[in-house]
A and B are shown apart, each in its own frame.
Chain A
Amino acid sequence: MSRSLPPKPFSRKAYIDGEELVGARWWQESLRQAADPISRRRALQALAVLGGSAAVLGLLVAVSSSDDQVDISMDSLELQKRQGWNVGQPGAALRFPLSSGVDADGSKSWNGSLPALASELAPAQPSLVPFYVPTLFQSLEAPSGASLRASLVPVAPAAGDRDHLRGQAILSLFKAVQMPADTAVILDLEGPSSVAVAAGLADGFDPVFTFDNWPHPLGVVPSHLTLGAAVYQRPVFLRARAGRPAKAPPAFVLDRTRLAPYTDEDAQFDNRYVAKLPTAENLRSLGIRHLLYVTPSKSQLRELDDLNGDFVDFAKASIDVKVLPLTDLDPAPAAQASTARATSPTYYYGGHPHTHLWFWNNYGWYAPRTTSRLPSPALAPSRPPDVSSGAAYRPALRPTIFSSRTLGGGSGVGKQKPSGFGRVSVRTSKSTGSITAVRGGRSGSFGRAGGWSSG
């Protein structure tokens, strides 16, 4: 389309020359007036009333360069809720590890309970419900959930069930100090591991799941594995819920792959998300004064980027955060050697029964009563030789892509998704409002190159 421009099309709308700021802003009015009246706004309005048929996706890729098309960027979850969990990839399969098709109780009747998963795995205590994020479990209830339910299988822990046993080891540490109600656990592990550790803790901690996305066949975050792990552990959680003390402290269950690297802009769907934890004020109102942040290994001794601001705020509110890598919990050497024939080895802090309760010497929040009643100094807790320095962790503010963003020095607006994070580009018809293609590629400052997937 050609148009004739005025000789001086740019008109200055602001000019500042002061002590605080020098600046100028221009608008090219002719472009504003030439803007297509059937705009992105209309396309978005049309999207809102569009039905959930994924069949419309990709039909018009061949004419995508025509004037009838408009590209818009949408929140990935919002798009999935409108168009189905597998939007753009209706025929693609989710990839699971080999599954025996049974849950933790060996039952094959788990699939009948899937639509109720979000309500079954909600926290037992009403005071914790506001911090529960049921999004992932709700994907099974959605209108498009039937095909997801048909695709899903229980995801059993890896051989040895190490994560579950490590969860039980953490629980035993807290049982040794009578399960203090002012200490919460944050599990920030890969989704299936987090679920397994939460299952190991569930007899003493009320799990609060915070999985805030839906699975997708091309998802950056493999949340279908987390969903499958939750289905596998469901009977464990339900049993523990029934037998747990009413005022059990919370265990916030996170999936650290929520920030997984976005590496293949043409073949991935950006279902990443930002963790949602209670604020410092919320935690204090729950009576929480200590947080144990559980990471996968000694090489991960600080919080992920999206939690940095939260953790600094916790520290400012005198809520002490310390880190415990799962690898600080190991079976005793003898048990390690006989793991193949042992039923289930017991895991200990420092890898030995004698070092287990030394955890409290390092972390310092409580002192187990048992230490004063030990019959022999030889049986007293001893310093473990090879544990991490997670007890010395202190939150420190650092610049991240999730840092508060306010331009110009005003007050911060809080943690937010960076531009392009958890979003996907869709191409819509301006005349009908229908989605004509979904691009798995990036938008915003996360890059824009890449082709359009036609689904």
Chain B
Amino acid sequence: MKREPLLHPVALAAIALLIANDHVLKSRWPGFVTGKLSDVAGMIFFPLFAFVVVRAAGRIARRDFAARGALVACAAVTAIAFALVKTWAPARDAFEMALGAARWPIGAVRALLAGEAPRFARAAIVMDASDLIALPFVLVAIAISPFRVRDDRVDDLRPDARRQLVPHLGDEE
């Protein structure tokens, strides 16, 4: 059976927490706690989300790699990128532009439906070094990973790819 890291209850809770905090809690109870909750939630689920993207890319490219190693790499990249965005203005600017670009299609559709011209708007990210207290939570993503063995391979390659990569696998699935 495929192992889906985003379906882990902790990951689901972190995603729910991000949505609730960004759209309800922050505006109702602004303060230190709600200011950090989204960062903590992101540190937990984003490495798993990034891993799913990397795994999908691996499927398309028919590349085999160690699942746990890939997840650890996703966690490390997430932590480094988060630290840069929160402490280094050029990284923050780049991330704001990237996030604005990711939002653009939705905003463009909304604008067109309203009879207006689509416009690009960058996202708003607050630089705050104290947000780095969320960094250790990236370890939660690794801890709840379903990939326990160091040489565990990505396990949802197409059957033909699996045969190609693991010749002795046969047709039992």
Q: Do A and B form a real pair?
A: no
Q: Which residues of A contact B (CB under 8 A)?
A: none
